Amino acid sequence: MEYMRTYGYHKYQPIDLMTELTVCESLARTSSLSMAALERRKPYGAIIGEMLTACGLLYQGCTVCEIGGGYGSLMKGLLEEYAPLIRRVVMVDLSPRLLRLQRKALERWKRKVTFIQADVMELMPVLSNIDVVIINEMIGDLDTWKDLAPSQLPDDAAALVLRYSLEIPPEGRFHFNVGAVRLVESICRTGVAAFISEHSSDPVIPHGMEYLRRGLSTDGFPREILLKGHAEFTIRFSHLESVARFWGKSCFGGALADLVGVRKSPKMRFIFTARACATDEQAILLEFLDHIREYRWLVIR
Ligand SMILES: C[S@@+](CC[C@H](N)C(=O)[O-])C[C@H]1O[C@@H](n2cnc3c(N)ncnc32)[C@H](O)[C@@H]1O
C-alpha cells in the first residue's frame, strides 16, 4: 500500500489546468465549444449560483468561500450574475500561481474578495463566518490510500471505516479517499454548508441517458487518474454521504450532467453510441459526454 499526496505538486509546481480538462473550464464561457452540449448556454459558475440560490444557500448578504478555485472561472461566472447578493467571497488555494490568476480573474470584484493561501485540511477546522463552501474538482486531489488490503487496513482508514460504517470490498486491493472523507468530517464539525463536485467511482446515470452507462461501474471504488506531475483519484460519493448522515446533515445531489443541463437529444445519443465523429463539434461533444458522465455533485447542509 502507498499513501498518495499532491500537496507538494499544488504548492510548489506551476500548475497548468488545461492538461486536466475540468468541467468548470470546459464550460467557463458561453463561447466555449463544449457549450453546444447544453440546453442553455450558461457559464458553469452561473449554473452553480442558480442551484445554490434555488435551495436557499445563496441569499442577500451571504459569505461564500471557494476552495481550490483553479483559474477563478467558477467564481467569475457566479459573480457575474450573483455579485449583488453576496457580501464577501473568500478564495482559498494551496497554489500561489493559481491564486494570482484568481486575483486577476476576479479583479472586477476586488473590494469583496479575499485570497488566502492555505491547505484546506488545516483551514477547514478553523473556518468561521462562512455561509457556504464551494469545492469543485479539488477533493480528488486530497490524500488517498492506494492498494489497501481489506483485512490489513492502516489505523486511520480502519477508524474511519468503522466509525462511519463505510462499505469496502470484501477482497482484493482498493484505494480509499482518506483526505476527502476527513474533509467532509471537518465540514460537518464546522457546521458550514458545502457544494462538492468531482469525478466519482459510483456515478449516477443522468435521467433518460441510460446509454451513458456503457463500460462504467456505478458501484466502484476509487480509480487512479494519472495526470501531468501528479495523480488524482475518483471519489466514492457514498462514503461522503455516510459521513454527512452520521453527523445529522442532509445531503442531496446527482449527476453533474443533469445539473448543467446536458441535451438529451437523439444527436447526443448517436454521437456517444456510434463514436463516429465526422466533425470537430461531434468530437468535442463525445469527449465532453465521456468526461462528464462520471461526475457527481453533492450538497451537504
Ligand atoms: C483540479 S484543480 C480544480 C480547479 C477548479 N476548481 C476547477 O474546477 O477547474 C484543483 C484545485 O485545488 C487546489 N488544491 C489542491 N489541493 C489543495 C489543498 N490541499 N488545499 C487547497 N487547495 C488545494 C489546486 O491548487 C487547484 O486550484
Q: Read off the pTM.
A: 0.97
pLDDT of residue 13: 85
Closest CA to 267 of 279, 257, 255: 279
Q: Which domains does the chain have, with CATH numbers?
A: 2-300 (3.40.50.150)
Pocket test for ligand 1, best of 65, 138, 226 (most atoms within 8 A of CB): 138
pLDDT band at 219 (very low <50, low <70, confident <90, very high): very high
Residue 19 has pLDDT above 90, yes or no: no
Length of the chain: 301
C-alpha cell at 241: 454521504
Tell me which residues have their CB closer than 6 angstroms to ligand 1.
6, 10, 15, 17, 20, 22, 24-25, 67-70, 92-95, 98, 119-121, 136-138, 141
Average pLDDT over residues 113-127: 97
pLDDT of residue 229: 84
Give tens-digit pLDDT for 144-196: 999 999 999 999 999 999 999 999 999 999 999 999 999 999 999 999 999 99
pLDDT at residue 17 is higher than 80 = no
Cα of 271 from ligand 1 centre, angstroms: 31
Identify the band that residue 8 occupies on the pLDDT scale cut at 50, 70 and 90: confident
